[in-house]
Amino acid sequence: MIAEYPADLLAEVKQKTADRQLAGFTPGQGMLHPDLMLVGEAPGRHEEKVNIPFSGASGQELIKFVSSIGYSRETVYITSVVRQRPYSVKRVKDKKTGEVIEKTPNRTPTKKEVLAFGPLFDWELAMVQPRIIVPLGNTALQRLLGSRANIGKLHGQLIERPIQKVTADHRGYQFTAEKHLLVPMYHPAAVLYARRLEPVIREDWLALGRIVKTIKD
């Protein structure tokens, strides 16, 4: 299932991000009430083109890990805290022609951008109602557990805590009264930048497989 976000929330995002360098719009997708809801940072260039979350290089890594514990793209829900591709504009000289060309590489979303998409993400989480939320990397983790949370410390562990939701005026966050189950993971792109993390991430996913089994039994 592909998320169909409420029009008023989409209009609010549009208004709050009008002056920002953000491209495309990739909706979250997958199964409702799944065991796992995987939450990334923001779509990249490939996702912007095809509108499928985690369908580029880091997505291929992610799906390998998902399959290693018996799930697939169809049996989990996949989204990210920001739904558009954040980019910066760089002017670089083409090595062959010497011509100055404009490039628009991906960048990490700012805190303000993550907050602008906050109501959309809260709506999505309330609709999906996963058993376990799996934040992938620090951007998603800190959106959920606050800016002091660190993926290097929390990866692969089961955490039961209140999570951040946007406040009624949509200007900040507050913690929920109820607790949620989370298992934070390194972002799959980490494998592409630091191969040494691959065995750690593989182990974390196997641990997640065991955790879900225990919770369901």
| Residues forming the site for ligand URA (CB under 6 A) | 40-44, 47, 53-54, 56, 58-59, 80
Q: How many whole angstroms separate alpha carbon 114 and alpha carbon 112?
A: 5
Tokens of 215: 């919770």
CB of 109 to ligand URA, least distance (A): 9
Q: Which residues pair with 164 in a beta bridge?
A: 175
| Strand stretches in 55-213, DSSP E | 77-80, 85-86, 90-93, 100-103, 132-135, 159-161, 164-166, 173-175, 180-182
**Residues in a beta bridge with 87:** 106
Q: How far is the CB of 213 from ligand URA (least distance, A)?
A: 26
Residue nearest ligand URA by beta-carbon distance: 40
171 contact partners, CB below 8 Å, separation of at least 6: 115
Smaller CB separation from ligand URA, 80 or 138? 80
The least distance separating ligand URA from the CB of residue 122, rounded to whole angstroms, comes to: 18
182 by DSSP, 3-state: which? strand
- Looking at the Cβ atoms of 24 and 146, the one nearer to ligand URA is 24
Tell me how far, at minimum, the Cβ of 136 lies from ligand URA, in Å.
6
Instruction: Rank residues 54 and 117 by Cβ distance to ligand URA and give the closer one.
Output: 54
> Which lies closer to ligand URA via its Cβ, residue 78 or residue 93?
78
